[in-house]
Amino acid sequence: MPGKWLSTSEMVPNEAARTCRNPSQQFLVALWLLHIVLGRKQPTPLIKSSVRRSTAASKSKKKYLQVFLDSYTAEFPCFVTSRKGDKYGFCTMCACDVSVSHGGKADIKPKSQQRPSFLGSYQIPKTAAASADVRDEVQRDHQKRKEPRGKIDPTPAKKVKLSSESTGRASLTCEERLLYFLTSDVNFSYGLFLKSVIPVFDNVNAQLQSQAPQIHLLQSLLMQFLRDLLARFVNPSAIKACSLPQEVPYQDLKNQKANEDLVLGSRTLSVVEGLRASEKQEFFSTVRKYFTVTCDYIRHKFPLKNETLNKAEVANLKFLNDASFTSLRFFVESFPQILPQGKNESRVEAFDALEVEFAELQVHRISEDILSEERIDVQWSEVGRITSIDGEVKFGRVSKVMLQLLAIPHSNAECERIFSMVKNTRTEFRSSLSNKTLGDLLMVKSHQTGRCFEQVDSDNFLRLAKYATARYLHK
């Protein structure tokens, strides 16, 4: 090229063109020169092409070792650990997993900015009308955000017709839905109602979980439980007209109380007063349905008509004067082995002696010290120690029968306790513990008083324990 100096980079390909003898190589070099002349760019030597390809391949095979850290959650509260592994973070707003293996926090930051939170500008609605106004305002704001900037086709091929309510709900985020649910006065009134009625269930449940025998009180307890629920929504005249609470026609609306007379709690009524008429009607209808379904379940599932529970009330010392021996006869005939018999005593004689003791006990003045005992089995144990003038035990036979009657479980709470004891004894560190050893440990634990490290054993017991241990280890 006359009048222009060639650079060193341009001289290299010219020299390569003169040294190439293969036509294919000359063609490639010519194309390369044409690219230089037209573009006037710095050429890259051909010898470095393989190096560039190997470098790109090595970069594609590079392993990224970024993991999700707890500090990410502190900075971005909507991101928590993911079930897919430590290379991912879970977004609670979008309900999706985000990979953090490449940039770590840099991968999370753009995702967190895609859906900004508008809770800071919200005013918590105090009434249903205010909640509706805020909801409409937020829906309009979301509609403006969703409008595209370009032109919109006025005649789309197909339109999906949705109601304004469903469209508004679909446009709300998860946090907005949660805000509306928690700040709704209707839901708040339901929560206050449950807070006032749940203690009725808790009291019965706590008494049924007692370790003390409750079989003599079970039927009365269940009857009183049903009666307490009926008193909250049924007229007193309808309850008094029936001898048993399960016979009350509570499903009839004529026998139910008016809305203002339902026992819901003062706080619940104060919130319900601020609701709209339609919301009030829905609330009271739901409350009546709740009481009705609960009473239906109690009537069909609870043993209110069980004969065994009815006869077991004979073991209540406080009402022994009104008890009948027929109830005691029912248990002796159902469980013949509970009747104590002497050596040369027939079954008929033992049964007659039991009836005589029961009649004498009904006219005996039981001391207040015995009746003040908290557990009923302790009371009957004290009755069994009462002696006559000549030193003979007066009520030993009837007390033994009553104690065996009280052994009938009143709930499955005791079984659950045994399962817990087994689980705590045969742990993963003692998984090969035999059933015999497990049974022996449970037997010792049931007779143990106080903590294990506070037990004081005799020297003879310790000597026998060491001998048994040494004998077992040298088998």
In 3-state terms the chain splits into helix, strand, coil percentages (rounded to 5) of 60, 5, 35
Quick check: 50 pLDDT over 60? Answer: no
Q: How high is the pLDDT of residue 2?
A: 44
pLDDT > 70? residue 46:
no
Task: Provide the pLDDT for residue 160.
Answer: 38
Task: Produce one character per residue of 61-96: b if its CB has 16 or more CB atoms within 10 Å, e if not.
Answer: eeeeebebeeebeeebebbeebeeeebbbbbebeee
pLDDT at 104 > cutoff 90: no
> So what's the pLDDT on residue 333?
93
Tell me the average pLDDT across 67-71: 84
Residues 6+ apart with CB under 8 A from 407: 213
* Buried/exposed 203-227: b ≥16 CB within 10 Å, e otherwise: eeeebbeeeebbbbbbbeebbebbe
Q: Tell me the pLDDT tens digit for each residue of 414-470.
A: 888 888 888 888 888 888 888 888 888 888 887 777 787 888 888 998 999 899 999
Q: Which two tokens stand for residue 338?
A: 């509970």
User: At residue 357, does pLDDT exceed 60?
Assistant: yes
Tokens of 56: 């790109």
Identify any residues that bridge with 90 across adjacent strands, giving them in sequence order.
80, 97
Q: What is the pLDDT of residue 39?
A: 55
44: exposed, middle or buried (C-beta count within 10 Å: 0-12, 13-18, 19+)?
Answer: exposed
Least confident of 167-181, 248-262, 348-362: 167-181
CB 93 within 8 A of CB 107: no
- pLDDT beyond 50 at 397: yes
The model's pLDDT over 303-333, given as tens digits with 9 standing for 90+, comes to 999 999 999 999 999 999 999 999 999 999 9
Least confident range from 244-258, 264-278, 421-435: namely 421-435
Please provide the average confidence, as pLDDT, over all residues in the chain: 79
The DSSP code sequence of 294-326 is HHHHHHHHS-TT-HHHHHGGGG-GGGGGG--HH
Residue 89, φ and ψ in degrees, nearest 5: -125, 145
Q: What is the pLDDT, as a whole number, of residue 416?
A: 87
What pLDDT was estimated at residue 25? Answer: 63
Q: Are 313 and 330 in contact (CB under 8 A)?
A: no
pLDDT, tens digit, 9 for 90 and up, residues 118-154: 444 444 444 444 445 545 554 555 555 445 444 444 4
CA distance 411 to 172: 48
| pTM assigned to the model | 0.59
**Does residue 206 have a pLDDT over 50?**
yes
Residue 79's pLDDT is 82
- For residue 234, the 8-state DSSP code is B
Looking at the chain, the whole-number percentage of residues with pLDDT higher than 90 is: 44
